[in-house]
């Protein structure tokens, strides 16, 4: 099932009629919807939970990479958390290429994340590849997950002298937004894959004899059918969240036990779906082999209005310095964290990849008005995805660091 179907099934049944030559506008609409998550996800929260935790960092044995600050890179540290690749990297979606799309300022590239009380290990692409020999690294989630996958593709490919050797197993181009892409590193016999599944669970037709107005349901107790492809992976990075809000699920009903439930709330359904995810992980993944991560929510940064009311981020040249302007932790994170805690004793290689706080500072890292060719001039700004190279590189450095701390090595 590709994302056009998911999208149209769920929110705009009339889009079924749209023909291929209108894909550009369809992408545009899709982008709108992705931005729309901001409204529901962020506005209800006026607490500043992070401010207190920021000042109370206590030294622990295992480093907490989630907490720290952005510092300007010095020349001597330029290869530590530095620019590991350039935007000519051929695995990048054109929407993530800032310079090509007209952005001139490059100040946002000079920051590196400095955790409190420890350092991030230097990212070593050859080492990561060697550790992953004969393996599979799989990203599962929405388009922000693709953002992170492309970042890792570029980071890893730096260790390959002839990058043309890396190929998509089914010959699909990255720019086609395919539901499933598998890039093979032949020397290492390794694939690095992306599977598009915004909800993780099944989106499908309602049971027979359901009321006419119900066209589509989100089946909170049935795990995505693509999941059989993820079994046997060595590293799995899940994410979801941007689609779990009132707007994205308009026209959708939640379904449980093959029964439509019209009163179930979005966050309740989100919690139930995470339980379904948990059962799948515990049942299908080998705790000796699979390293499982659930990446936390990636914040959006619309200023002076929401995504659809002229919200902007193109004037942002530096990370946020005023902590009062930062949003508190997204409520999705608490749900994810709780479920992972419940799994700890049965699958010790399941980790919460908490990048929300460090990302919340980076209002300067979005494509903003520098959109890919073909985007309508009056399109809203993209303050939700990330320019690459950019912030998701840090997420992947933390991913690498956490894998090292687990002594990750395939075979």
Ligand X SMILES: *[C@@H]1O[C@H](CO)[C@@H](O)[C@H](O)[C@H]1NC(C)=O
| Least distance CB 3 / ligand X (angstroms) | 27
Residue ranges of alpha helices (H) inside 219-263 are none
| Least distance CB 246 / ligand X (angstroms) | 16
| 151 vs 333 by CB, closer to ligand X | 333
| Least distance CB 96 / ligand X (angstroms) | 23
List the interface residues with ligand X, window 151-180 (CB under 6 A). Answer: 162, 164-165
| Least distance CB 167 / ligand X (angstroms) | 8
Total of residues contacting ligand X (CB under 6 A): 27
Q: Which stretch binds ligand X (CB under 6 A): 35-43, 211-219, 223-231, 261-269?
A: 261-269
Give yes or no for residue 8 binding ligand X (CB under 6 A): no
| 3 vs 369 by CB, closer to ligand X | 369
Number of residues in the chain: 411
Active site residues: 143, 382, 385
As a whole number of angstroms, the distance between CA 384 and CA 263 comes to 30
Within 10 Å of residue 258's Cβ, how many Cβ atoms?
Answer: 12
CA quadruple 276, 277, 282, 286: dihedral sign: positive
As a whole number of angstroms, the distance between CA 131 and CA 121 comes to 15
Within 10 Å of residue 265's Cβ, how many Cβ atoms?
Answer: 10
| 23 vs 50 by CB, closer to ligand X | 50
Give yes or no for residue 268 binding ligand X (CB under 6 A): yes
| Least distance CB 98 / ligand X (angstroms) | 18
Give yes or no for residue 130 binding ligand X (CB under 6 A): yes
Tokens of residue 45, six digits: 């929260």
C-alpha of 328 from chain center: 19
As a whole number of angstroms, the distance between CA 385 and CA 172 comes to 22
Whole-angstrom Cα Rg for the chain? 20
- Considering only 147, 197, 240, 333, the residue that binds ligand X (CB under 6 A) is 333
Give yes or no for residue 50 binding ligand X (CB under 6 A): yes
Distances 232 to 282, 349, 356, 359, 406 between C-alpha atoms, Å:
13, 14, 28, 31, 18
As a whole number of angstroms, the distance between CA 370 and CA 104 comes to 10
Give yes or no for residue 80 binding ligand X (CB under 6 A): no
Q: What is the DSSP string of 364-378?
A: TSS-BT-PPTT--TT
Within 10 Å of residue 322's Cβ, how many Cβ atoms?
Answer: 6
Give yes or no for residue 48 binding ligand X (CB under 6 A): no
Q: Which stretch binds ligand X (CB under 6 A): 141-149, 177-185, 195-203, 351-359?
A: 351-359
Give yes or no for residue 67 binding ligand X (CB under 6 A): yes
| Least distance CB 31 / ligand X (angstroms) | 21
List the interface residues with ligand X, window 311-330 (CB under 6 A). Answer: 312, 315, 329
As a whole number of angstroms, the distance between CA 95 and CA 27 comes to 11
State the residues that interact with ligand X by CB under 6 A: 50, 53, 66-67, 124, 126-127, 130, 134, 162, 164-165, 189, 261, 263-264, 268, 304, 312, 315, 329, 333-334, 337, 354, 356-357
């Amino acid at each position: 099932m590709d994302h056009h179907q998911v999208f149209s099934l769920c929110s705009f049944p009339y889009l079924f009629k749209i023909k291929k030559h209108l894909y550009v506008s369809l992408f545009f609409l899709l982008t709108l919807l992705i931005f729309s998550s901001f409204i529901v996800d962020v506005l209800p929260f006026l607490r500043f939970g992070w401010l207190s935790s920021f000042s109370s960092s206590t030294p622990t044995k295992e480093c907490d990479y989630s907490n720290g600050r952005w510092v300007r890179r010095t020349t001597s540290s330029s290869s530590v958390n530095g620019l590991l690749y350039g935007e000519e990297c051929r695995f990048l979606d054109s929407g993530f290429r800032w310079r090509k799309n007209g952005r001139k300022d490059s100040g946002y590239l000079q920051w590196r994340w400095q955790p409190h009380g420890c350092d991030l290990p230097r990212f070593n692409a050859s080492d990561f590849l060697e550790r992953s020999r004969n393996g599979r690294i799989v990203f599962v989630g929405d388009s922000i997950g693709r953002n992170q996958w492309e970042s890792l593709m570029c980071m890893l490919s730096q260790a390959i002298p002839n990058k043309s050797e890396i190929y998509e197993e089914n010959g699909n181009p990255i720019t086609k937004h395919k539901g499933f892409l598998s890039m093979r590193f032949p020397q290492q016999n390794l694939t690095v894959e992306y599977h598009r599944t915004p909800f993780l669970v099944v989106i499908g037709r309602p049971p027979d004899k359901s009321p006419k107005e119900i066209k589509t349901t989100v089946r909170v107790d049935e795990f995505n059918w693509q999941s059989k492809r993820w079994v046997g992976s060595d590293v799995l990075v899940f994410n979801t969240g941007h689609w779990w809000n009132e707007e994205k699920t308009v026209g959708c009903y939640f379904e449980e036990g093959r029964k439509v439930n019209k009163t179930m709330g979005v966050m309740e359904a989100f919690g139930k779906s995470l339980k379904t995810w948990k059962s799948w992980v515990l049942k299908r993944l080998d705790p000796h082999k699979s390293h499982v991560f659930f990446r936390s929510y990636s914040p959006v940064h619309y200023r002076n209005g929401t995504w659809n009311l002229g919200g902007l981020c193109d004037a942002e040249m530096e990370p946020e310095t005023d902590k009062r302007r930062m949003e508190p932790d997204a409520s999705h994170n608490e749900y994810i964290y709780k479920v992972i805690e419940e799994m700890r004793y049965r699958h010790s290689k399941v980790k919460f990849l908490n990048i929300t706080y460090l990302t919340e500072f980076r209002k300067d890292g979005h494509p903003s008005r520098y959109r890919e060719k073909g985007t309508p001039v009056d399109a809203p700004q993209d303050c939700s995805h990330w320019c690459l190279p950019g912030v998701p590189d840090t997420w992947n450095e933390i991913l690498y660091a956490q894998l090292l701390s687990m002594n990750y090595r395939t075979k």
